Amino acid sequence: MNKGSLVVVSGFSGAGKGTLMKSLLAKYDNYALSISCTTRNPREGEQDGREYFFKTKEEFLDMIEKDELIEYAQYVENYYGTPKAFVDSNLSEGKDVLLEIEIQGALKIKQKFPDSVLVFITPPSGAELKNRLIGRGTESMDVVEKRLKRAIQESEGVEAYDYILINDDIDTCTEKLHNLIRAQHEKAKNHIDIIENVRRDLRRIEDVTAII
């Protein structure tokens, strides 16, 4: 079985990444969404093991020590990291594994897995981003400010991404993301073995023709 693709989805906080991931998982069954570990407190409605595995700082540092994370980063005031075991097993099962992570983590993933696809999601404008963050109502104004500042910093690393998708309409954005992941599977290097088989067959046919 072919291995799945590793797909990193980043974007400004409030760009709608979470909704996009849910929409992709609801529509198609070839995806597995990695659940990260974090030291931040759960927001209202969040459940341990569903949105994140919520860890203490000590527990998180212990996971780093034991090499159980494929990447981790500090974001605003907390640690976030991707558990290794889930990613490895789902990729081997042929699933496309989605990592919804920030830019430092994305760059580490690209270094470790050069075949991964890095996608950056953005709302159409800065004003729209601020509205969405405030509208969400889950963050204090202080944290909203920090996230907007962080967004400015993040926009500076965006050249490292393979694709930028504008999330204007969730259904359109879902289709675009799904299509570009499918296209990734058809990359030439994933099909070299098929070409080699065809070449071998053709040579065999040529030999037979020569005898006749």
Of the candidates 19, 95, 90, 15, which has an alpha carbon nearest to the alpha carbon of residue 51?
19
Binding status of residue 132 toward ligand 5GP by CB under 6 A: no
Using CB under 6 A, count the residues that bind ligand 5GP: 15
Confirm if 39 and 78 have CB atoms less than 8 A apart.
Answer: yes
Binding status of residue 81 toward ligand 5GP by CB under 6 A: yes
What CA–CA distance (Å, rounded) separates 87 from 70? Answer: 9
Residue 104: CB minimum distance to ligand 5GP, A: 6
Strands 6-11 and 31-33: unpaired
Binding status of residue 102 toward ligand 5GP by CB under 6 A: yes
- The residue from 40, 84, 132, 176 that contacts ligand 5GP (CB under 6 A) is 40
**Tokens read off for 138:** 């889950």
- The residue from 4, 16, 105, 123 that contacts ligand 5GP (CB under 6 A) is 105
Closer by beta carbon to ligand 5GP, 1 or else 85? 85
Binding piece for ligand 5GP, criterion CB under 6 A, among 79-87, 116-124, 159-167, 181-189: 79-87
- The residue from 23, 39, 82, 116 that contacts ligand 5GP (CB under 6 A) is 82
Strands 36-38 and 78-83: antiparallel
Residue 9: CB minimum distance to ligand 5GP, A: 8
Confirm if 43 and 52 have CB atoms less than 8 A apart.
Answer: no
Helices (H), 156-191: 170-185
Stated as kind and residue range, the H or E segment containing 38 is strand 36-38
Closer by beta carbon to ligand 5GP, 41 or else 209? 41
Strand ordering across the sheet containing 117-122: 31-33, 96-100, 6-11, 117-122, 163-166
Binding status of residue 4 toward ligand 5GP by CB under 6 A: no
- The residue from 73, 143, 158, 166 that contacts ligand 5GP (CB under 6 A) is 73
Residues at the contact surface with ligand 5GP, assessed by CB under 6 A? 13, 36, 40, 71-73, 75, 80-82, 100-102, 104-105
